[in-house]
Structure 1
Amino acid sequence: MLPVQLCVAALLVVCITHWIYRWRNPKCNGILPPGSMGLPLVGESLQLLVPSNSFDLPPFLKTRLHRYGPIFRTSVAGRAVVVSADPEFNHFIFQQQGRLVESWYLDLFAKLFKQAENRADGAYVHKYVRNLILSHFGVESLKETLLSPLEATVRETISTWSNQESVEVKDAVSAMAFDFATREIYSSDAENFSQNLREKFTCLSRGLLSFPLNIPGTTYNKCLKNRKAALDLLSMLVKKRRASPDQMHKKVDVLDHVLQDMTSEKFLTEDFIVQLMFGLSFVSFETVSGAATMLINLLGNNPLVLEELTAEHEGILKKRENPNSSITWEEYKSMTFTLHVINETLRLGSVSPGLLRRARKDIEFNGYTIPKGWAIMLLSSAVQMNPEIYKDPLSFNPWRWKDLEPSVISKNYMPFGSGIKQCAGSEYTKLFLATFIHVLVTKHRWIKIRGGNVTRNPMLQLKNGLCIKILGKND
């Protein structure tokens, strides 16, 4: 028996050794970028999650960029990934959307949000969804129909906050942003389920970077349960609307719009519409609430910025015949310094270190080959922290935007993505933040109660949140 056992053990050692070798040396029809694949299956995931208390890139990324250069390979959660902080390569990849690359998300994202680009008609579907968003949240809708009710919502909400002992900013802004957006998406139906749906999305968003281990008690498992609950709510609403077509709203909301298009767009099945509503509902609050929280935190730590920002908005009030009248579109477009503050907040406070794509074919660039199927992480945060583009990049300096050329901004500023995948809701986000700032600095002031310490692991967030007390302007 001993020789047999030795043979089995030897064979096992050979197999494991070969497996480890293949893991560390992936197949490639060319030369892979430099780097390391880490441990089998786990890759270098644990190193990526080491936290840092800075706006800067996570230590994992900084160390490897220094060691290997602007493009390197690694493995995260068992996925082979090429990471790039090369502006030229990133710009090239953005232009190849739908050809050489497609959007890709971590396993949990892929499970939660079905990707239209995996369909044969993905490009057409993406164009439809983009146009749908622009028709309801684009410039014309913002200018003609949304600006006034948005300001009214912000005024009423912040006034309510002033009657509370303290406000947890991200949760409070999330509720405001979600309720406003869902009224545009679902009209009066939102009143019946908005809070319940928001609670599901809030729980879901807290675990988006969890390890995909689907067993009871894990964060991943809880995320999937919240996803199912949210989809069930939306499915009931879609069925209700389809069963009562005569109940069409006077002002066609997003759901009405999509249901009307079912007769002409064959890809609009009921299941697809539920998934679409799920995605639109989720993104309606996550970006805005994170940016608003970071904005308040940065303004509280930079009194000179707050002083000039306040002066700009008080100047707008002085030019009005009635200081209490609503913001006009012309006033919004005149908020030059406000836009600088928003740009700087989004540059410095980019939540994710990068944007993810997946190679549809082998990609050749500067002598390296990225194999088909590999993920590509474009380090937008590395570009936005590049000292050759942004002097003293870790400082909060809105004045820097006065001197930056439009061509530099278009190539190196990407909080909303770039190329054909740039977020269709970017103008809505900026208008929301500008309106929020206007009401906050002209009607109120605030003091920090607790929180506000920055951490990355690898997502940027405030370690203990941000809790403030809202006061009247003269309190």
Structure 2
Amino acid sequence: MWTLVGLSLVGLLVIYFTHWIIKWRNPKCNGVLPPGSMGLPFIGETLNLIIPSYSLDLHPFIKKRLQRYGSIFRTSLAGRQVVVTADPEFNNYLFQQEGRMVELWYLDTFSKIFVHEGESKTNAVGMVHKYVRSIFLNHFGAERLKEKLLPQIEEFVNKSLCAWSSKASVEVKHAGSVMVFNFSAKQMISYDADKSSDDLSEKYTKIIDGLMSFPLNIPGTAYYNCLKHQKNVTTMLRDMLKERQISPETRRGDFLDQISIDMEKEKFLSEDFSVQLVFGGLFATFESISAVLALAFSLLAEHPSVVEELTAEHEAILKNRENPNSSLTWDEYKSMTFTLQVINEILRLGNVAPGLLRRALKDIPVKGFTIPEGWTIMVVTSALQLSPNTFEDPLEFNPWRWKDLDSYAVSKNFMPFGGGMRQCAGAEYSRVFLATFLHVLVTKYRWTTIKAARIARNPILGFGDGIHIKFEEKKT
């Protein structure tokens, strides 16, 4: 009798789990889901995505599924039901639907780092988004760059490269991160790395390490350390904000000052949100530019003809000046035609942000399929930027290709800074910083690769043990 009862229970469990797995693999949808697989329960297909790929090509997880299912497919990543799209027309349509059909979305680990102590406004639209965009443009946009920041960036790059040249070698990804972060932090919170007792760039390095780790909040884990450093930084920013509000004489005319003043006028600028905004702004400047710089050194080492033309362009700028020692001007930056082509090509190949995440606010019809409400949508910009339909020999580093590319095709298929109303407000700042760095580099320094890196995607661009470079000042 007990044997029969035991067998019956086992049978019921088998039926239950079979039903549950079938339900997992075939989610509810008011229509037809895009083709694809949901993978294993809970895990989904996450493990396939985080396996490193040692190539600048699309990560195999994405590439194989695009070949198998077409430009739109479904999957499950980190416990989320996801539709992946590499369709240029649909992607552009989505970017125009912010706040109506989709909203900005983050992975859970990212949200836990950037959303704390109150309601998040990271995906806000309307008045809040307009304010956030305007304050960043006020401090890092084209007008600010033209009027004030360009010569300051050049001075900061000069100082950094001079310091690097005194060392046996420099790991350029980390050194670049510190350089860009310290300059941006100076503009945002008047941070002086040489005088501060807190090494903020090191704290942000630990935060990024934890951001890409498994979210296990146990002492000793990368994620635990990430949360600890995040708390330390936000506490410091909160104290600075309070001091600026209480003691106007401590104000420096920076990003933090503008927020502290605007808090008196804008109801949505709570203390929590203001601290979150500064914390996120510092993070945004930290990683992307340095990754592009590191990739630049890797690509330029393999293409001396590009270095030769870059050098010629920048030496011509110096020769055309009345005073060769004067600072870079905005007109000179705008004249860097080949330099900006090189930057575009590095951005295209680098795909520092391989995908942009949105969440469906309602059922979305697309090409005979339906993306259900609540699902995450991953816009794979990297698939567009490596498409042979737009870019001939897409894995070849060829800055000259940008002379002949159709501007309309580029606008649909080249989105290193996102698209639509969410396009990165720091796009011009990133280009100016990169162009200025290249200007100082090729006119004043020689460099030798001491140790090359094994470039990997998982799917974020990584550089293994780093790219180690020896810098030497040119003799005049």
Which TM-score band (shorter chain)? over 0.9
Where does residue 28 of structure 1 map in the other structure?
29
Decide whether the 8 Å contact of 1:197 with 1:233 is kept in 2: no
Decide whether the 8 Å contact of 1:104 with 1:356 is kept in 2: yes
Identity %: 56
- TM value normalised by structure 1: 0.96
Cα distance in 2 for partners of 1:114, 1:123 equals: 19
Where does residue 95 of structure 1 map in the other structure?
96
Decide whether the 8 Å contact of 1:103 with 1:117 is kept in 2: no
Decide whether the 8 Å contact of 2:56 with 2:456 is kept in 1: yes
Where does residue 373 of structure 1 map in the other structure?
374
Decide whether the 8 Å contact of 1:451 with 1:463 is kept in 2: no
Decide whether the 8 Å contact of 2:289 with 2:434 is kept in 1: yes
Does 2:13 match 1:8?
no
Runs of 4+ in 1 over 6 A off after TM superposition: none
- Aligned pair in 2 of structure 1 residues 410, 195: CA closer, same or farther (>3 Å)? farther
Paired residue secondary structure (1:207): helix
Paired residue secondary structure (1:172): helix
Paired residue secondary structure (1:458): coil
Cα distance in 2 for partners of 1:449, 1:427 equals: 32
Cα deviations by residue, 1:197-226 (Å, 9 ceiling, x for unpaired)? 211111111232222232333322222222
- Aligned pair in 2 of structure 1 residues 192, 6: CA closer, same or farther (>3 Å)? farther
The within-5 A match list for 1:279-318 is 279-318=280-319
**Equivalent position to 2:233, from 198, 211, 230:** 230
Letter of the 2:165 partner, please give it: S
Shift of 1:48: 1.2
Decide whether the 8 Å contact of 2:121 with 2:273 is kept in 1: no
What is the total number of aligned residue pairs between the two structures?
A: 473
The within-5 A match list for 1:245-264 is 245-249=248-252, 252-264=253-265
Cα distance in 2 for partners of 1:71, 1:64 equals: 9
Cα distance in 1 for partners of 2:221, 2:22 equals: 32
Where does residue 60 of structure 2 map in the other structure?
59
Where does residue 185 of structure 2 map in the other structure?
182
Paired residue secondary structure (2:424): coil
Where does residue 128 of structure 1 map in the other structure?
131
Cα distance in 1 for partners of 2:266, 2:276 equals: 16
Decide whether the 8 Å contact of 2:54 with 2:456 is kept in 1: yes
Paired residue secondary structure (1:291): helix
Where does residue 448 of structure 1 map in the other structure?
449
Decide whether the 8 Å contact of 1:102 with 1:117 is kept in 2: no
Paired residue secondary structure (2:269): coil
Cα deviations by residue, 1:353-385 (Å, 9 ceiling, x for unpaired)? 211111111101111000111111111000000
Cα distance in 1 for partners of 2:377, 2:214 equals: 19
Decide whether the 8 Å contact of 2:446 with 2:474 is kept in 1: yes
Decide whether the 8 Å contact of 2:298 with 2:452 is kept in 1: no
Please, what is the CA RMSD of the aligned residues?
A: 1.8
The within-5 A match list for 1:314-393 is 314-393=315-394
Where does residue 271 of structure 1 map in the other structure?
272
Unaligned 5+ segments in structure 2 are none
Unaligned 5+ segments in structure 1 are none
Shift of 1:178: 1.1
Letter of the 1:23 partner, please give it: W
Paired residue secondary structure (2:287): helix
Shift of 1:240: 1.9
Paired residue secondary structure (2:396): coil
**Equivalent position to 2:218, from 215, 239, 247:** 215
Cα distance in 2 for partners of 1:347, 1:125 equals: 31
Cα deviations by residue, 1:161-186 (Å, 9 ceiling, x for unpaired)? 11111111011111111111111111
Letter of the 2:108 partner, please give it: D
- Aligned pair in 2 of structure 1 residues 40, 379: CA closer, same or farther (>3 Å)? same
- Aligned pair in 2 of structure 1 residues 281, 56: CA closer, same or farther (>3 Å)? same
Letter of the 2:276 partner, please give it: Q
- Aligned pair in 2 of structure 1 residues 193, 279: CA closer, same or farther (>3 Å)? farther
Decide whether the 8 Å contact of 1:452 with 1:464 is kept in 2: yes
Where does residue 18 of structure 1 map in the other structure?
19
Cα distance in 2 for partners of 1:155, 1:121 equals: 39
Cα deviations by residue, 1:377-400 (Å, 9 ceiling, x for unpaired)? 111000000101000000000000
